[in-house]
Structure 1
């Protein structure tokens, strides 16, 4: 029997698809934690901010918003890391377009951090006023 191609998805349906997707996602999270220092730093910050969010939130909606923008930063960081991995896989030699792709990913992460920071600042100011 021939080995199934990575791109042959005919037997990857239903619950099997869900199991495989979960396994691949967990592998991605583990890999990001092991190899991406920015991901670890942002995850550590999120863990530290959970109790702060519980204290300063005046409602469940506010707490969920604070956590959502924090997780959003991790999502953008994962996408940035994926872009960097693909660019590095294609070629390690410097190319202006490769640099731009990495810069765009970095800019997206910075913007996510600015959005999260502004939401958190609003929550903190609201708590003290």
Structure 2
């Protein structure tokens, strides 16, 4: 069997990643909420004409929150697959994963406040 080319393999990988992104947005409420917040903050960035540095910080914060939220969803799905019944150890894993989302969400909110509070005052 001939080995698949590097290029075809990368294209296929990108296709899987895009499929995963769309599945998350269409099926997971937590990602949908984060996506709406990202759209609102992007609109606010255009409205307030934030600086390039502020855009970098805002986009980094949005990407980090959505990326960690995606990982949290994946961890929860794996945990539910491995142990569908209630298990305190699985619960701890899920809590820690949710805590990671909370941590980056708080930092992203602080970044948003630093960018937008001066513009609102």
TM-score w.r.t. length of structure 1:
0.84
Shift of 1:93: 1.1
Aligned to 1:44: 36
Distance 2:5 2:106 in 1: 39
Matched, 1:104 2:96: yes
Mark the structure with the bigger radius of gyration: 1
Structure 2 gap segments, 5+ residues each:
none
Matched, 1:56 2:56: no
Aligned to 1:19: 11
Q: 1:110 to 1:34 in 2, by over 3 A?
A: same
RMSD between aligned alpha carbons? 1.8
Distance 1:29 1:56 in 2: 29
CA contact (8 A) 1:76 1:108 kept: yes
Aligned length: 121
